[in-house]
Structure 1
Amino acid sequence: MVTQRVAFRIPPSVGKVLSAVEETAESTKLWCGAAAAMASLGGWRGRKAAVNGLAALVLAQLISNGLCKQVADRPRPPKEWFPHDEVDDRPDSSSFPSGHTAAAVAFTAAAAPAWPAAATACALPTAMVALERVQSGSHYPTDVAAGAAIGLASAWLTRRSLGLILRRWLI
């Protein structure tokens, strides 16, 4: 099983780094901090990237946690599959989809067109959050893949709708 292989192949030292990044991303703290840095350091481009990223993040959270987790009541992977005690700290909500991954991917993908360099800097923590969700025992790989798809769709919808709104204001 892929979930077990990920959990057993990641060395404990790497697992600790992944957990630290995920903890920073908990409750969207990492992405709000990234948005604040973008807005303060990036001029108009940074402000646009921050607004796009945060709007997409909110939409991804609403879809993944507000809708999908309520409809899909998938249990978390079995605790005995994991060689560490992190599995005891996972949430009780549905495993499907990964809301953390949805938020991370949404923020990064929505910010990228406005400020590619800043979004590139967000890509590594985004990937680390996604990997950590499987490594920690919180999600199956398919949960993370679905979260990533929700994040990409949210970024696309956000950029499209914000563009339409701004065009109407400017005309």
Structure 2
Amino acid sequence: MLTQRAGSRVPPDVGRVLSAVEEAAEGSKLWCGTAAALAAFGGWRGRRAAAAGLAALAVAQLLGNGLCKQLARRPRPPKEWVPHDEVEDRPDSPSFPSGHTAAAVAFTAAVAPVWPAVGAVCAVPAAMVAVERVQSGAHYPSDVAGGAVVGLAGAWLARRLPRLVLRRRLKPGP
């Protein structure tokens, strides 16, 4: 029901802006571009934020697209539920979880602890990507929520995995 209503409730001008942001985020271009700008112009903190964001994005993509989509195999919302032409542009891959949302949330959640102001700025297009995925008919709201959880898990794992690996390597043997 919410999926059906989402496409018709967004004004056309807002829909175009959401689509433009989603297009920029396609293939993680938006997040990789942001990381490049942070690394080039942000000094040590920018390089650290960029590395954290890209690591989290990679982990989230592995979790979401490599594992969760293969396990869930959920079909996309029915095309007749979406009252506009964007429904024709959606991918054929499984619907759950939203990989776009997972990448956006992972990058943002990893950048925010390193550079909170930049994390807050990244949260705006991340939220727009999440809304667009439902508005365009590409995902159910639960797919987007699942993608956000995968993104948060990706950021958490990317931050903690190096410490866990080092701790295991440095631990004295029996």
TM-score after normalising by structure 2: 0.92
Please report the RMSD computed on the Cα atoms of aligned residues, expressed in angstroms.
1.6
Residues in 1 aligned to 2:122 and 2:148: alpha-carbon distance in whole angstroms:
14
Corresponding letter in the other structure for 1:136: S
Describe the superposition over 1:25-80 as per-residue Cα deviations: whole angstroms up to 9, x where unpaired.
Answer: 00000000000111112111111110000000000001111111111111110111
Secondary structure of 2:76 counterpart: coil
Describe the superposition over 1:73-116 as per-residue Cα deviations: whole angstroms up to 9, x where unpaired.
Answer: 11110111111000001001100110000000000000111111
Residues in 2 aligned to 1:117 and 1:41: alpha-carbon distance in whole angstroms:
15
Aligned to 2:157: 157
Aligned to 1:114: 114
Aligned to 2:44: 44
Aligned length: 169
Aligned to 2:29: 29
Q: Would the alpha carbon gap of residues 165 and 39 (structure 1) be closer, same or farther in structure 2, given more than 3 Å must change?
A: farther
Aligned to 2:132: 132
Once the 2 structures are TM-superposed, how far is the Cα of residue 19 of structure 1 from its aligned partner?
0.5
Whose Rg is larger? 2
Residues in 2 aligned to 1:166 and 1:21: alpha-carbon distance in whole angstroms:
38
Corresponding letter in the other structure for 1:122: C
Contact 1:64 1:150 in 2 (8 A): yes
Aligned to 1:66: 66
* 1:87 aligns to 2:87 (yes or no): yes
Aligned to 1:13: 13
Percent of pairs with identical residues: 73
Once the 2 structures are TM-superposed, how far is the Cα of residue 167 of structure 1 from its aligned partner?
8.3
Corresponding letter in the other structure for 1:133: R
Aligned to 2:171: none
Stretches of structure 1 that go unaligned for 5 or more consecutive residues are none
Stretches of structure 2 that go unaligned for 5 or more consecutive residues are 169-174
TM-score after normalising by structure 1: 0.94
Corresponding letter in the other structure for 1:3: T
